[in-house]
Structure 1
């Protein structure tokens, strides 16, 4: 039987936390639930303490200084404190469905497989949250991929380097990974990134480890969409969006210089990083630098950042 540690980073999630924890408690395979609390300003810490006192498998941890360090550092804390053979993640405002670990039970019989990922559904908890989410992501019912994949196909698919459209990123809530694989490859969340640290982690994980798709055609967990979801607050191609995209691609770029041998992947990451680096420039400096970059490599015009006159 699987031995799973579920890591739940907790920050201002008092409204949702008990449902989230209960959804993980239902599984016999879940041996511990780690609540990594990040100096909430609501009563989340009190709820964590109550839950930990009621159930022996629920364990509460805080940062050594009991401060606020962000989602990346808080997930790293959870990984550090975990004792399970496998690690799964769950956001404190989301919850698992009963089929969450069905694919894992079979897949992890193969010792080659380091991680399994699946699909996550959406539940709109507020009308404002729904409008903000749909304005950015349209009416997407599942966060998943378009076809089964494993091994290097997952890494290339996440970067958009496959012949077929791999689809969107799979969500961290639907990932289960061997802890030994993280330790062997020294994989942690980049604590510099306040957003996109999950995407950064997933791409690096897909390169270093052997991942396999599990249930991708129906939800294994549910994301709660509400007024305070950080990812929906950022307007696409706004200065804030471009800056955060640059930090994300720069993280991958610095990592790729030491780890990646695939020339297509290295070039793709480099171009994305350069494109968003240019996007945060302004005025004449931006225009001249952009034209120089286009002359050097026209492929930069095909990156995720679309250059138009309004961006200049």
Structure 2
């Protein structure tokens, strides 16, 4: 018996690209899937496009986020999951794409494993308009891991990662790890998949199949161009740190330190850093050490040039 895969897509004003995304789902060589799209209140023609696909293909379903739920992609993902039936879940953003063999290759590897709380990753790369000729990134994390924690530990100083649609996740894991955090505005996928990987007994990575991540346009929510976004980014990484501290106390993750270093250099408002001194403790210590070193060098130079 073939396992059902639920592909869940939040949609907001994507009339210009949602057709391409849906066609990449329909092109999958593994055909036993359902695709659930959840509209977040689109004001363009997105829903007309999706409705036409749903009418022609019964595997595609269009839902609308209830007004009782907060606006945002995370609410749409959670609502889609609650209305899904798949043994495995593939989250897909409305502007990203998958190779035709993505699901088939991942399910082959998953079917070979004896564990039940399983995750599969796959190769990926960025694209702007076309995916033709784009090869996957060569990353040291493109391999199997004996546990999800091992993958989190492999997110080292080279700052590798997998976008959300590269993962195929057992429904059993989500029941344990919990759904998407609707309070987060930035790095929602980083926080969510940290919890998923904490609960993953094994991570398998097929040799074939990949996904394509569309390069965000200027003004993306992920850019730290306001105090609110900076605070939201810190909130997400504080949550990630708390999750891992519960499971592996006193263990340092390069995954988290890389993020802290990045945020520390990108946040322009010093009051934000000052209000999160515990979070930025290592970065502040390094900064102070640098200041002390400069002062020491300055005194040495003054002593040298003041002789005679």
TM-score normalised per structure 1: 0.74
Bigger Rg, which one: 2
In structure 2, C-alpha distance between the alignment counterparts of 1:275 and 1:224, rounded to whole Å? 22
The equivalences for 1:5-16 within 5 A come to 5-16=6-17
Partner in structure 2 of residue 18 of structure 1: 19
Whether the aligned pair in 2 keeps the contact of 1:123 and 1:224 (CA below 8 Å) is: yes
In structure 2, C-alpha distance between the alignment counterparts of 1:38 and 1:3, rounded to whole Å? 25
Indicate the SS of the match to 2:243.
helix
Gaps of 5+ in 2: 292-308
Change (3 A) 1:144 1:85: farther
Correspondent of 2:114 among 97, 101, 111: 111
Change (3 A) 1:272 1:33: closer
Over aligned residue pairs, what C-alpha RMSD do you find? 4.0
Partner in structure 2 of residue 124 of structure 1: 128
Partner in structure 2 of residue 223 of structure 1: 213
Whether the aligned pair in 2 keeps the contact of 1:143 and 1:168 (CA below 8 Å) is: no
Correspondent of 2:103 among 98, 101, 104: 101
Change (3 A) 1:81 1:144: farther
Quick check: 78-87 or 99-108, which moved more? 99-108
Q: Post-superposition shift, 1:22?
A: 1.2
The equivalences for 1:224-303 within 5 A come to 224-225=214-215, 227=217, 230=220, 233-234=223-224, 239=227, 242-256=230-244, 259-265=246-252, 282=270, 286=274, 298=282, 301=285
Change (3 A) 1:198 1:298: closer
Whether the aligned pair in 1 keeps the contact of 2:4 and 2:33 (CA below 8 Å) is: yes
Deviations 1:198-223 (A, max 9, x none): 1111111111113424147x761212
Change (3 A) 1:104 1:166: farther
Partner in structure 1 of residue 140 of structure 2: 146
Deviations 1:155-206 (A, max 9, x none): 2223x3xxxx6751101111101112211x1421111112210111111111
In structure 2, C-alpha distance between the alignment counterparts of 1:306 and 1:211, rounded to whole Å? 41
Change (3 A) 1:233 1:267: closer
Gaps of 5+ in 1: 127-139
Change (3 A) 1:19 1:284: closer
Whether the aligned pair in 1 keeps the contact of 2:126 and 2:215 (CA below 8 Å) is: yes
In structure 2, C-alpha distance between the alignment counterparts of 1:284 and 1:70, rounded to whole Å? 25
Residue 187 (structure 1) aligned with residue 178 (structure 2): yes
Partner in structure 2 of residue 171 of structure 1: 163
